[in-house]
């Protein structure tokens, strides 16, 4: 096999496996649960209270590829309190790694739209 074909095959495998890379981590501290998902270089964190059910926070953004990776937050539900725009990539060794199991409504969602003059027409 020529060096070009070896390089092309290696690059193709690297790109396809990295684009499908997904991991989920879980940490429970008493009644508080934190879930971190890493999907194709994107970080998502959700924190909630289990009983009674109560939302606490969520944040997420793209992970830098620096030697010391940070997350450049695109959203942070606690921004008014903490003003964070970047966070260090969480020390995931304090989390339990859990398998990503298929769940109802799994997938990437795009929420968007626009209103026109006619409020009934939302196309």
In this predicted model, what pLDDT tens digit does every residue of 94-114 receive, in sequence order? 888 887 666 666 666 666 666
* 3-class state of residue 79 by DSSP: helix
- What is the distance between the alpha carbons of residues 42 and 34, in angstroms, rounded to a whole number? 16
Q: Are residues 39 and 18 in contact, defined by beta-carbon separation less than 8 angstroms?
A: no
Q: Are residues 50 and 27 in contact, defined by beta-carbon separation less than 8 angstroms?
A: no
Whole-prediction pTM value?
A: 0.64
Quick: pLDDT tens for 32-82: 999 999 888 899 999 999 999 999 999 999 998 888 888 999 999 999 999
Residues 6 or more apart in contact with residue 61 via CB below 8 angstroms: 42, 43, 71, 72, 73, 74, 75
What tokens appear for 79 in the block?
Answer: 């921004």
């Amino acid at each position: 096999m020529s060096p070009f074909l070896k390089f092309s095959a290696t690059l193709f495998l690297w790109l396809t496996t990295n684009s499908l890379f997904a991991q989920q981590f879980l940490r429970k501290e008493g009644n508080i649960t934190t879930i971190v998902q890493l999907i194709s270089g994107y970080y998502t964190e959700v924190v909630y209270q289990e009983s009674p059910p109560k939302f606490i926070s969520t944040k997420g953004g793209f992970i830098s590829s620096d030697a010391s990776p940070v997350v450049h937050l695109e959203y942070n539900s606690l921004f008014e309190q903490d003003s964070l725009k970047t966070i260090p990539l969480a020390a995931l060794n304090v989390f339990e790694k859990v398998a990503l199991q298929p769940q109802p409504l799994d997938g990437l969602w795009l929420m968007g739209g626009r209103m026109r003059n006619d409020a009934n027409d939302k196309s």
